Amino acid sequence: MSEDTDQIAEIEPEAEDDDAAYALNRRAVAAILFAVDTGDREKLIELMEPLHAADIADLLEQINTFDRRKMVELYDREFDGEILSELDESVREEVIGLLSPQVLTDAVRELDSDDVVDLLEYLEEPQQEQILDALEDSDRVAVKQALTYPEESAGRLMQREIVAVPEHWSVGEAIDFMRAREDLPDQFYHVILVDPRMKPVGYVALGKLMASPRVRALSDLLEPSFRTIPVDQDEGDVAYAFNQYHLISAPVVDEDERLVGVITIDDAMSVLDEEHEEDILRLAGVGEGSLSDSVVETTKQRFPWLAVNLATAILASLVIAQFEATIASFVALAVLMPIVASMGGNAGTQSLTVAVRAIATRDLTGSNVWRVIRREVLVGLVNGVAFALVMGGVGVLWFGQPLLGVVIGIAMIVNLVVAGLAGTVVPVVLEKAGVDPALASGAFVTTVTDIVGFFAFLGLAGAVLL
């Protein structure tokens, strides 16, 4: 095997162990960056050829702005539309600005309508016009129509490329129709049956269609999983329907229930992945940024949540200030205070994470909310008793004060019970109030556990020890 062949073979993502599965080979990345630095276009194309569009997008996101600009300009005419659709939004806009008009035109024309809409959604108007001008008239009209639907709706998510046939056709007629068409979607899973008013009445899986005799009526092969998606339905609800009912694709209908597009599982799962990522980031109070964001952008996203945390910390400090004399009289309290607050905060975060996730997956509903709350409170009680025994022993062995062990033990039980209660009730109440529980719950739960923990510990200490 030649040196060049070895180098190309190393490009493929490695899967030697679970941690490195599908990660880009570091030597391959180094070879690509060396080709970029030396301006060797032929070598760059040779090295990039084996890569999937998603891997190229990952590479563009991971390198710095200077290298990214040089790579895009050098790769130029080889740039594929699929790479644009795989890029993170924060990098995509930058890359589109680097592409020449002709390269951008060729890249966009390769994409399905849903991918084009996804590209346009977050771009400035001049860049939107640049991409729209690259489309054929029929595609441009379809994309503009999709952009009139609400953001994060099924209308934005669907693709206009569909395979629909009259409901009275046979298998043979459907096969002949598809063979004669030159504009079939690159990937589709069902043939949709429609009535004379273009209302979908069912669909047939391609595998079942191809395995059936030509004379068989399509209406005899309908899939039981069939359901339609309203064009204005929230994309989060669409993703939930796909996951809940194990859908592969689903037709999208307008207000008159006429067929206007189709959503496929890859798009639905992308939304589901985004929803999960969004919840995780919001729970951590870091907004919806990415690793490609600048220092200024990242600072702006995180600053408000740090400010909220500062405000809640001040509230907790005000509680501590009420027991200043108690702490001064018994210095050991200052040593043990953080333990009570920390345990309560961690227990609250555990309950909060479970509750937010259950709300997102719609497993936590009005019918089981009290059972879940009761369970979390009992878990807090059991854990509280267990750790109370541990900390009671610590209080005796460390400070030689049995009463101090009793105080911290009781405070531990109280705070962990409250943590389980707050971690479940707060996100439920916020969700009922129309506030994203992943966005706001953390600050409330932390405030509650800190205040209750300090008040219980210092209040008991003042009553028992002094």
CATH 3.10.580.10 is held by the domain 164-264: yes
For 53-62, how does the pLDDT look when each residue is reduced to its tens digit (9 = 90+)?
889 998 998 8
Chain centroid offset of residue 110 CA: 26
The answer to whether 377 touches 420, Cβ cutoff 8 Å, is: yes
Sign of the four-CA dihedral 95, 98, 104, 110: negative
Region 261-267 average pLDDT: 91
| pLDDT above 80 for 439 | no
The stretch 296-301 carries a mean pLDDT of: 74
Q: How confident is the model at residue 223 (pLDDT cuts 50, 70, 90)?
A: very high
Pairing state of beta strands 259-264 and 249-253? antiparallel
What's the rounded Cα separation, in Å, for the pair 129 and 144?
A: 11
Q: Flag whether pLDDT at 17 surpasses 50.
A: no
- What pLDDT is attached to residue 283? 65
User: What's the pTM value of the predicted model, to 2 decimals?
Assistant: 0.68
Domain boundaries, the chain: 3-152, 164-264, 295-464
Neighbours of 391 (CB within 10 A): 22
Residue-wise pLDDT tens digits, 310-358: 888 888 888 888 888 888 888 888 888 888 888 998 998 889 888 988 8
We find that the CATH architecture of domain 295-464 is Orthogonal Bundle (1.10)
Q: Which of 126-130, 289-293, 406-410 has the highest mean pLDDT?
A: 406-410
DSSP 202: E
pLDDT band at 286 (very low <50, low <70, confident <90, very high): low
Of the two residues 439 and 220, the one the predictor is more confident about is 220
What strand order describes the sheet that includes 164-166? 164-166, 190-194, 200-205
Strand order from edge to edge, sheet including 259-264? 229-230, 249-253, 259-264
- Structural Rg of the chain based on CA atoms: 29
Maximum mean pLDDT: which of 110-119, 271-280, 356-365, 445-454? 445-454
Whether the pLDDT of residue 248 is over 80: the answer is yes
State the CB neighbour count (10 A cutoff) for residue 350. 17
Q: Which residue has the higher pLDDT, 427 or 434?
A: 427
8 pLDDT above the threshold of 60: no
- Ramachandran category for residue 76: left, alpha or beta (phi over 0 → left; psi -120 to 50 → alpha): left
pLDDT surpassing 60 at residue 81? yes
What ranges in 181-294 are assigned the alpha helix state H?
A: 206-210, 235-245, 265-283
pLDDT of residue 287: 59
CA–chain centroid gap for 103, Å, is 30
Question: Sorting pLDDT into bands at 50, 70 and 90, what band is 2?
Answer: very low
pLDDT greater at residue 384 or residue 138 = 384
3-state secondary structure of 234: strand
In this predicted structure, what is the pLDDT of residue 167?
Answer: 95
Q: How confident is the model at residue 183 (pLDDT cuts 50, 70, 90)?
A: confident
Output the CA–CA distances (angstroms, integers) from residue 259 to 29, 191, 231, 251, in the order listed: 45, 13, 9, 7
The whole-number pLDDT of residue 89 equals 78
Query: How high does pLDDT run on average in the chain?
Result: 85
CATH entry 3.40.50.720 includes domain 3-152: no
Handedness of CA 396, 397, 398, 400 (dihedral sign): positive
Alpha-helical runs (H) found in 63-170: 65-75, 81-86, 89-98, 101-109, 113-121, 125-133, 137-147, 154-157
Asked, colleague to colleague, whether 164-264 and 295-464 share their fold, the answer is no
Q: In the prediction, which pLDDT does 20 show? A: 59
Name the pLDDT band for 374 (thresholds 50, 70, 90). Answer: very high
Residues 95 and 72 sit within 8 Å (Cβ to Cβ) = yes
**What's the pLDDT band for 5 if we cut at 50, 70, 90?**
very low
Percent over 90 (pLDDT), the chain:
33
What are the pLDDT digits (tens) for 104-129?
Answer: 878 887 787 788 888 887 777 777 88
Query: For the segment 143-167, what is each residue's pLDDT rounded down to a tens digit?
Result: 888 888 888 899 999 988 899 999 9
Q: What is the pLDDT of residue 9?
A: 42
Cβ–Cβ < 8 Å for 244, 185: no
